[in-house]
Amino acid sequence: MTAPVLELVGVRKSYGPIEILHGVDFALRAGEVHALIGENGAGKSTIMKIIGGFVAPSSGEVRLDGRPAAYRSGAEAEAAGVVVIHQEFNLAPDLTVAENIYLGRELGGLFLDHKAMRAGTQALLDELDSAIRPEARIRDLPVSDRQMVEIAKALSRNARVLIMDEPSAVLTHREVEVLFRQIERLRAQGVALLYTSHRLEEVTHLADRITVLRDGAVVRQALRGELTEDGMATAMVGRDLEDIYPAKRHHAGEVALELRGFSVPPLVKDISFTLKRGEVLGISGLVGSGRTELAEGLVGLRASTGEVRRNGVPVRIASVREAAAQGMAYLTEDRKERGLLLDKTLRENLTLSTLPRFGAPFISAAREEEALTKAIADFDIRAPRRDLRVGNLSGGNQQKLLLAKTMLSDPEVVIIDEPTRGIDVGTKSQIYAFIDALAGEGKSVIVISSDMPEILGLSDRVLVMRQGRIAGELSGERISETDVVRLVMGTSEDAAGDAAQGSVTKGNTAEGSVHV
């Protein structure tokens, strides 16, 4: 076994009083692909930030060639040969490939030596066996080519350690194959690679060594072939549900909403499901699997096709107003950019979507204040002053206000996207109790979440989305984290079917995904 190029020794990281990495050890070796896997929030991105020099560990150290390496910036790490390729590429879209590759270290003196930079870029791209032209503008390149440019840029920095943060997430199947060939080429050249992906079959295919992370700690390390995809999923999960979730006791009533062959181009295709009164339907899936697009299509924020029935009657919904008229409301995942006006007061935010109810032609400020008083009491919104700008509220109180705002229209069908993102545990359980109460009142609730325990703890039924389609549906007592993770990751059909023992309905066909 060769000596590690880069090593993490007892790395811990705290933000304020909260420790999110609890002493992580692992090593990257030359000519080896090391996969780092774990659920959202397990600490993968923090580790990558530490390795890339963007964040300093609270204790422990990063060693490069056996010597402590404390970079103060990403640039210093890069100079030492440690290069990170981020999910969002760091490329200037209006510059050419060559200009991007030499950005910040242009060749030439007073005048740029375009010719030399083009030649240098061409040499790099040839080495990668890529047909991209150095004169092409990044803007005009497909995503896979941009990925390739990032790799070329990393190579031009003489990267010895290359960190790839979910490089396949944005690529098509064919593009992933190209990417894999490049990764194998780099491995053969002796580069140490760290690779993260939610797609476990890629990990099986690529990784020489696997580290599984859970809740900020390494729970499993394995060599190639030692861990099956099932084993990885189990290792990533393995967590008891906390009792912050209300007991499920919903008595589902009549069908309130039914979708048949519902599509939101270009991502979401052929979705069919039913939603009953008094039911909480969880929608799980990776970021980018089309969950939010589906919800936004349903409430008229995006153009959609297919059949939607409300209480059995076909409806067409082309705007949020029309959705509201059908008793449907959507609570966005992006409360700061799409949910609330941060520079306005609580009152103005609360009533924005239901303003016609507060008097015409003149708005009754007294009735607005009344509604705010009620919302503050009902949703336990804690604001030091009523006339505070919403941007100054804590995330939890913002979310409660957003809930209050959404509920003011008294919807029958509520779609809540990431109900507790960035919110402390105390507020979380309040919001869960609230969602439970909604279902208890006979409303239909859809909860979209990346938080696995949340999906499991709240949902009567779970739909799993993958790449814009329903990958499967789980219901009743049979909803288990392992099953959901399998569907989310898209591991083999047999394994999932065996484990779930028939409670999984494979939804690759429209017929298969509808069941009551």
Partner 1 sequence: MSDAVIQSAAGRRLPSLSALGPLLALILLVVLGASLNDNFLSAGNVTNVLARSAFIGMIAVGMTFVITSGGLDLSVGSMAAFIAGVMILGMNALLPAMGVGVPLVLAGMGIALGVGLLAGLGNGLLVTKARIEPFIVTLGTMGIFRSLVTWLADGGTISLDFGVRQLYRPVYYSGLFGIAWPIIVFAIVAIAGQVAMRHTRFGRYCEAIGSNDKVALYSAVNVERIRLLTYVLLGLLVGLATIMYVPRLGSASGSTGMLWELEAIAAVIIGGTALKGGYGRVWGTVVGVLILSLIDNILILADLVSPYLNGTIQGVIIVFAVVLQRGKSSSA
Q: Which residues bind partner 1 (CB under 8 A)?
A: 301, 319-321, 323-324, 330, 332, 337-344, 348, 352-356, 360-363, 365-366, 369-370, 372-373, 376, 380, 382-387, 389, 405, 409
Closest CA to 293 of 323, 262, 314: 262
Closest CA to 151 of 105, 192, 188, 101: 101
182 CA to centre of own chain: 26
Least CB distance to partner 1 at residue 379 (A): 12
What is the C-alpha radius of gyration for the chain, rounded to an integer number of angstroms?
25
DSSP-based three-state secondary structure for 217 = strand
464 CA to centre of own chain: 14
When the beta carbons of 194 and 413 are compared against partner 1, the nearer one is: 413
When the beta carbons of 108 and 391 are compared against partner 1, the nearer one is: 391
Least CB distance to partner 1 at residue 349 (A): 8
Phi, psi angle pair for 107, to nearest 5°: -85, 155
Least CB distance to partner 1 at residue 48 (A): 30
When the beta carbons of 10 and 359 are compared against partner 1, the nearer one is: 359
When the beta carbons of 384 and 476 are compared against partner 1, the nearer one is: 384
DSSP one-letter code for 69: -
Six-digit token string for 357: 């109810």
Least CB distance to partner 1 at residue 339 (A): 6
Q: Which amino acid is present at 170? A: V
Least CB distance to partner 1 at residue 335 (A): 9
Least CB distance to partner 1 at residue 352 (A): 4
Six-digit token string for 332: 């966005």
Q: Which amino acid is present at 509? A: T
When the beta carbons of 194 and 390 are compared against partner 1, the nearer one is: 390
DSSP-based three-state secondary structure for 365 = helix
Sort 66 into a burial class: Cβ within 10 Å, 0-12 / 13-18 / 19+.
exposed
34 CA to centre of own chain: 22
Closest CA to 382 of 405, 398, 367: 398
Distance CA(105)–CA(123), nearest Å, equals 17
Least CB distance to partner 1 at residue 332 (A): 6
When the beta carbons of 348 and 481 are compared against partner 1, the nearer one is: 348
Residues 433, 443 contacting (CB under 8 angstroms):
no
Least CB distance to partner 1 at residue 357 (A): 11
When the beta carbons of 122 and 353 are compared against partner 1, the nearer one is: 353
Residues 448, 465 contacting (CB under 8 angstroms):
no
When the beta carbons of 157 and 421 are compared against partner 1, the nearer one is: 421
Using CA of residue 309, residue 310, residue 315, residue 321, what is the dihedral sign? negative
When the beta carbons of 133 and 389 are compared against partner 1, the nearer one is: 389
Least CB distance to partner 1 at residue 291 (A): 16
Please report, for residues 3, 103, 155, 170, 367, the alpha-carbon distance to residue 88 in angstroms, rounded to integers and kept in the order given: 32, 17, 18, 10, 46
Six-digit token string for 258: 């039914």
